[in-house]
Amino acid sequence: MLQSGLAPVPARRIFALALPLIFAALAFSQQKPRSKADKEPPSQTLPVLKDPPAAVSADAARLTFHVSPLSAKGLLTQQTRDALQALLRANHGAPMIKLRAFVAGTGDARRVQAIVSEIFTDKKQPLPALTTIQVGALPLEGAQVVIESISEDKKAQNPNGLAFLPAQHADDASAALEKLAAAAKTANVSAPDMLSVTCFLGSSDDAEAARLAASRAFPSAAADFVQRLRLSAGPSADCEGVGRRSHGGVNTPKLVFTGAQMAFGDRDSDLHLAFERLEKTLNSLGAGDNDVIFSDRYPLSRAIEAKLPASRNPTTTSIVEGLPSPDASMAIEVVAAVRH
């Protein structure tokens, strides 16, 4: 058997010879600069979302009205996003001036404001004034939100101005809508020129009949139907509306739309403070209490309703299920005319 003339190298000797090379490789790898792909991305701080404005003014002649479609897909957050996207598509880029959201179910109504702020900020559009009201139910099982919008179109839509009609009460929606049609006629609004109708129902079981009656009475109106309270109050309806005047009336160039101003507490002074804050909001946009042409009031009980001061202008008062703040007892929103 042949043998090699090389003597075997001990393993310890091999390790001793390789050790400096290992240290050199480690040192080189530590000194190698990181590539852009290797660097950690800088931490980002999300911007704080702005609150919707307390009020927005707009040209009365260019206002348009829409209602989001009802959906049972997902929970409140997804439904709110879907409703806003539907309204953005319907408005074809026209800036939204005012949103009124009716929330049903167990979702946190405060989420609506956050989602509105997020979506409009992402799209770099000015925020609209916002009112969020908790109601008892919507006329679709699983639906948790419906949103009404008022937008300012590029072209004049209402050359003779608008009429804001307070809710007409009746034992059922058909009768309430008949009363609304009579009030519209008095205000020089024809049936095809009714632009928006909202009915506060005692029971959502009457919603389909109310929808059919509204489509017959006001075929062009964006119609909305909500059950005021969780516990059904039986058949009853209060229907309000906005219509385009055919002639006559005061054609005010600018209108101010406020978001909901809430009262916290049930004392007379608490309610008075809410009206004072509302007055300051109107003053900031060139209007005042004497310029209010329409208001919606949302007390949470008959006791609060009884404490509200008498209104000097057309007013809808609806007792509702709740408001975005658990401490709130009442909310009010108004439309005012800028007359100078």
Looking at residue 236, its pLDDT comes to 92
Looking at residue 24, its pLDDT comes to 47
Is the pLDDT confidence value at 288 over 70? Answer: yes
Is the pLDDT confidence value at 6 over 80? Answer: no
- The tokens of 191 are what? 């049936």
CA distance 6 to 10: 12
Is the pLDDT confidence value at 40 over 70? Answer: no
Instruction: Identify any residues that bridge with 64 across adjacent strands, giving them in sequence order.
Output: 151
Dihedral of CA 180/186/187/190: which sign? positive
Is the pLDDT confidence value at 223 over 80? Answer: yes
192-204 burial, b at 16+ Cβ within 10 Å, e below that, comes to ebbbbbbbbbbbb
Is the pLDDT confidence value at 16 over 70? Answer: no
Arithmetic mean of pLDDT, 124-140: 96
Is the pLDDT confidence value at 26 over 70? Answer: no
Looking at residue 233, its pLDDT comes to 74
pLDDT > 90 in the chain, percent: 78
Nearest residue to 296 via CA among 209, 228, 232, 220: 228
Arithmetic mean of pLDDT, 84-97: 94
Nearest residue to 242 via CA among 96, 61, 65, 68: 65
177 — pLDDT class (breaks 50, 70, 90): very high
- The tokens of 241 are what? 């509306």
Looking at residue 339, its pLDDT comes to 74
Looking at residue 232, its pLDDT comes to 80
47 — pLDDT class (breaks 50, 70, 90): low
pLDDT > 70 in the chain, percent: 84
CA distance 225 to 148: 11
For the ranges 7-11, 27-31, 329-333, the one whose mean pLDDT is highest: 329-333
- The tokens of 37 are what? 């792909």
- What is the length of the chain? 340
Arithmetic mean of pLDDT, 114-129: 96
Is the pLDDT confidence value at 34 over 90? Answer: no
288 — alpha (psi -120 to 50), left (phi > 0) or beta?
Answer: beta
Arithmetic mean of pLDDT, 318-326: 95
Arithmetic mean of pLDDT, 200-220: 95
CA distance 317 to 298: 6
- Report which of residues 44 and 213 the model is more confident about: 213
Which range among 96-110, 139-153, 250-264, 268-282 shows the weakest confidence by mean pLDDT?
Answer: 250-264
The CA radius of gyration of the chain, in Å to the nearest whole number, is: 31
**Total-model pTM:** 0.85
Tell me which long-range contacts 170-174 makes (C-beta under 8 A, separation of at least 24): 170/236, 170/237, 171/235, 171/236, 171/237, 172/206, 172/209, 172/235, 172/236, 172/237, 173/199, 173/201, 173/206, 173/209, 173/210, 173/213, 173/214, 173/225, 173/237, 173/239, 174/209, 174/210, 174/213
49 — pLDDT class (breaks 50, 70, 90): confident
Backbone angles phi, psi at 107, to 5 degrees: -65, 155
CA distance 276 to 297: 15
